[in-house]
Amino acid sequence: MLTIAHVGRRFPTGTEALRDASLRLETGDFVALLGPSGCGKSTLLRLIAGLDRPDSGALIWDAGQPPDPGDTGYVFQDATLLPWATAAENVFLPLRLRGLSRDQAQPAIAEALARVGLTGFENARPRQLSGGMRMRVSIARGLVTKPRLLLMDEPFAALDEFTRHRLQADLVAMQADLGCTVVFVTHSIYEAAFLARRIVLMTPRPGRIAREMTSPLTHGQDTRLDPAYATLVAAISQAMEAALQ
Asked whether residue 97 is assigned to any structural domain, the reply reads yes
DSSP three-state, residue 101: coil
Residue 83 included in any domain: yes
Q: Is position 134 within any domain?
A: yes
Domain region containing 117? 77-147
Strand segments (E) across the chain: 2-10, 16-25, 30-34, 56-61, 72-75, 149-153, 181-186, 198-202, 209-214
pLDDT of residue 225: 85
Question: What are the residue ranges in the chain where pLDDT is below 50?
Answer: none
This prediction's pTM: 0.92
The pLDDT value given to residue 221: 63
Asked whether residue 214 is assigned to any structural domain, the reply reads: no
Assigned domain for 190 exists = no
In a domain, 100, yes or no: yes
pLDDT digits (tens, 9 = 90+) for 83-115: 999 999 999 999 998 889 999 999 999 999 998
Number of domains into which the chain is organized: 1
At residue 124, the pLDDT reads 97
Give the containing element (helix H, strand E) for 48: helix 41-49
